[in-house]
């Protein structure tokens, strides 16, 4: 089949360059611009990478216009209905749904690695008691690289697999202990007789004094949140992990950089900001004033939980989690709480107000996940931690795919220089 190409003409010189086009299995083809600088002397310019493919990947596919999200070809709607987070971890990591033997082996391995080294446990004591749990996560997760000298060869597939297992296994313990440390409560060790998500909830909410009974609806709701947040193509935090890992830094350090990126309120910090915003609006009693502020170009305020870089249609994850959100609120009899009433009012406005319709600003997954986590009694500053707990498998799957990709090389973007022309040094007495 003849290779597709595009021809670029420099209208200033009439010089032309023919660029190859790469076809994916789904979605837009990509123009290979690697020869552009050599042939025509130009860089490409795309702040925020709105139209730039940084890599090829077989893990997740998003169609923002059609509201499609697939993990390894499986529609998110089917995985949300039939799968579990641990099974989705296997799918994202290995590329196929596990047989029952593969899943039980994977589950056993994940349970075997769920404890942290006791020296790492003492690491928590160095933080102020009111440290944000994401600050603790960045530090503690990065410190894991100090403990695992047995699997540091990033070019060794078996070492990469061991690191992936360790991250998926230990993330719930690190996350739950970040919460317990902030509370000043004793750390609860993993109980491997429980399932992955139930084990995390138990480490979060149980204490040595009373037997802990998990609420099955909470387990299902959280497992659904973890499935929906597990991966999302080349989002900011995943791209951070890929760029950090491209220098062959160890995977724990690369993922720690991803945790830091996820913390931002425009990304994984959005669900925490959603509930803070809903609380302020509920307190003010004036939804319309906040909507007006969100529409005002001179006001930096944005409606957190609305809009998405890629989804210019309803975020498919939001559609799925919206159902669980309303079901949980009904079960808890919380629908009439002011905060949730404001959420339902904002949801209505976003689907009727011209500003939001024109800009295709629909509620995104973080709008509903924030409400569910709040209803489950998970504290606000733990919301991005839950997001990181879910996304760990996406990060490590992309890192592994990159390390395995013969085309991958150290990431080093260029720039459009807009600084000073060359000038001579001026001695201080002449300034
Ligand atoms: C996640 O990349 C991923 O996949 C991320 C994620 C994942 O799973 O990894 O999906 C998770 O990060 C979801 C997004 C969570 N963030 C928020 O909810 C924060 C609030 N949303 C916005 O800040 C914003 O929508 C972004 C950051 C999500 C997307 O920003 P873009 O794509 O850069 O869009 P933009 O800033 O160019 O906005 C386009 C227009 C602008 O208006 P105009 O200049 O055209 O007049 O829409 C407006 C913006 O002002 N706009 C909003 C708005 N979001 C965009 N106006 C009011 N409220 C908002 N939330």
The pLDDT assigned to 2 comes to 63
Tokens linked to 183 = 């509370």
Neighbours of 140 (CB within 10 A): 26
Helical packing angle, 383-404 and 216-228, nearest 10°: 40
* Centroid of ligand 1 to alpha carbon of 254 (angstroms): 25
State the pLDDT at residue 373.
Answer: 92
Is the CB of 304 inside a 6 Å radius of any atom of ligand 1? yes
Task: Encode burial over 67-81: b for 16+ CB neighbours within 10 A, e otherwise.
Answer: bbbbbbebebeebbe
Least confident range from 183-187, 273-277, 337-341: namely 337-341
Q: Decide if pLDDT at 151 tops 90.
A: no
Active-site residue, 65 included: no
pLDDT score at 171: 98
The answer on pLDDT for 337 being more than 90 is no
User: What does DSSP assign to residue 234?
Assistant: S
pLDDT at 326 over 60: yes
- For 202-232, the pLDDT digits (tens) are 999 999 998 889 899 999 999 999 999 999 9
Alpha carbons 39 and 132: distance in angstroms, whole number: 50
Residue 83 reports pLDDT greater than 80: yes
Would you state the pLDDT for residue 211?
85
Ligand 1 centroid vs 308 CA: distance in angstroms? 5
Mean pLDDT over 319-346 rounds to: 87
Q: Is 308 a catalytic residue?
A: yes
Average pLDDT of span 106-126? 95
The verdict on the CB of residue 398 being under 6 Å from ligand 1 is no
* Ligand 1 center from residue 305 Cα (angstroms): 8
Total-model pTM? 0.93
The string of pLDDT tens digits covering residues 17-36 is 999 999 999 999 999 999 99
Over range 379-390, report the average pLDDT.
95
């Amino acid at each position: 089949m003849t290779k597709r190409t595009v021809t670029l003409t420099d209208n200033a010189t009439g010089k032309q360059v023919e660029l190859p086009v790469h076809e994916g299995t789904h979605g837009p083809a990509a123009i290979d611009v690697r020869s552009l600088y050599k042939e025509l002397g130009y860089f490409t310019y795309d702040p925020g990478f709105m139209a730039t493919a940084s890599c090829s990947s077989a893990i997740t596919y998003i169609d923002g216009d059609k509201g499609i999200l697939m993990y390894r070809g499986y529609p998110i709607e089917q995985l949300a209905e039939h799968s579990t987070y641990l099974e989705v971890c296997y799918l994202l990591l290995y590329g196929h749904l596990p047989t029952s033997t593969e899943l039980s082996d994977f589950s056993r391995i994940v349970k075997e690695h769920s404890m942290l080294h006791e020296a790492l446990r003492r690491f928590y004591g160095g933080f102020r008691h009111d440290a944000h749990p994401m600050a603790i996560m960045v530090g503690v997760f990065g410190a894991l690289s100090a403990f695992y000298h047995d699997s540091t060869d990033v070019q060794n597939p078996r070492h990469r697999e061991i690191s992936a297992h360790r991250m998926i296994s230990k993330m719930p313990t690190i996350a739950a202990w970040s919460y317990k440390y902030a509370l000043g409560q004793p750390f609860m060790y993993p109980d491997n007789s429980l399932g992955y998500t139930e084990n995390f909830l138990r480490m979060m909410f149980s204490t040595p004094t009373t037997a802990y009974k998990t609420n099955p609806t909470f387990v299902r709701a959280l497992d659904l949140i973890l499935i929906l947040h597990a991966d999302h193509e080349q989002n900011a935090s995943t791209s951070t992990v890929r760029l950090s890992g491209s220098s062959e830094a160890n995977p724990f350090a690369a993922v720690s950089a991803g945790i830091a990126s996820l913390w931002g309120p425009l990304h994984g910090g959005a669900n925490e900001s959603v509930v803070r915003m809903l609380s302020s609006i509920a307190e003010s009693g004036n939804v319309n004033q906040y909507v007006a502020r969100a529409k005002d170009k001179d006001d930096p305020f944005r409606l957190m939980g609305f809009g998405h870089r890629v989804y210019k249609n309803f975020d498919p994850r939001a559609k799925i989690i919206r159902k669980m959100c309303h079901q949980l609120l009904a079960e808890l009899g919380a629908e009439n709480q002011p905060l949730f009433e404001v959420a339902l009012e904002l949801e209505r406005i976003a689907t009727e107000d011209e500003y939001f319709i024109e800009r295709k600003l629909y509620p995104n997954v973080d709008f509903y996940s924030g409400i569910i986590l709040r209803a489950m009694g998970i504290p606000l500053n733990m919301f991005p931690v839950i997001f990181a707990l879910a996304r760990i498998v996406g990060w490590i799957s992309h890192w592994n795919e990159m390390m395995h990709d013969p085309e991958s090389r150290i990431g080093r973007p260029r720039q459009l220089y807009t600084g000073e022309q060359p000038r001579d040094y001026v001695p201080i007495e002449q300034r």
